[in-house]
Amino acid sequence: MMEPMTSPQITLYGIPNCDTVKKARAWFTAQALSHDFHDFKKQGVPPQAMDRWTAAVNWQKLLNRSGTTWHKLDAPTQNAVVDASTASALMTAQPSLIKRPVVELQWGSHRLMTVGYVPEQWEAWAQGNATQ
């Protein structure tokens, strides 16, 4: 059983002009859930974050192949993405390729994350029913 959340640290990673990120930020604000925003454009991908994220979710879920940034890549660059290592290197170099938002919740020794807009999961976190 997970310990109740008393003061979780929530970090929302993304790009400020992304509609899904805007929607997620508005959701957290409307729920009065304190959260930090990490801007990929200004701050890049934090060290060790990509390793954490690809360990928590499949790299294919994290890589946004439907966005403009992916479609602007040349075919050899796209075709070179074949595993977590090559995907991680490309997403670190071009954070716009990361599906957004990435939301990490940490309290105590527990760390959970989501990719995309998933308010049902965030609501469960807020109610202390944190599961991945």
Q: What is the pTM of this model?
A: 0.87
* Separation of alpha carbons 89 and 23, rounded Å: 28
What is the residue-wise DSSP string for 20-56?
A: HHHHHHHHHHHTT---EEEEHHHH-SPTTHHHHHHHH
Whether 18 is catalytic: yes
Residue 131 within any structural domain of the chain: no
Q: Is the pLDDT of residue 106 over 90?
A: no
Residue 1 within any structural domain of the chain: no
Residue 104 within any structural domain of the chain: yes
Residue 119 within any structural domain of the chain: yes
Residue 132 within any structural domain of the chain: no
Domain CATH code at residue 91: 3.40.30.10
Reported in sequence order, the residue ranges of 31-122 that DSSP labels E, i.e. its strands, are 36-39, 102-107, 110-115
Average pLDDT over residues 25-34: 94
Q: How confident is the model at residue 1 (pLDDT cuts 50, 70, 90)?
A: very low
The total number of structural domains that make up the chain: 1
Cβ(93)–Cβ(85) under 8 Å? no
Residue 4 within any structural domain of the chain: no
- Which tens digits make up the pLDDT trace of 65-104? 999 999 999 999 999 999 999 999 999 999 999 999 999 9
**Active-site position among 18, 33, 56, 118:** 18
Identify the domain containing residue 35 by its residue range: 9-126
Smallest Cα–Cα separation from 97: which of 89, 107, 106?
89
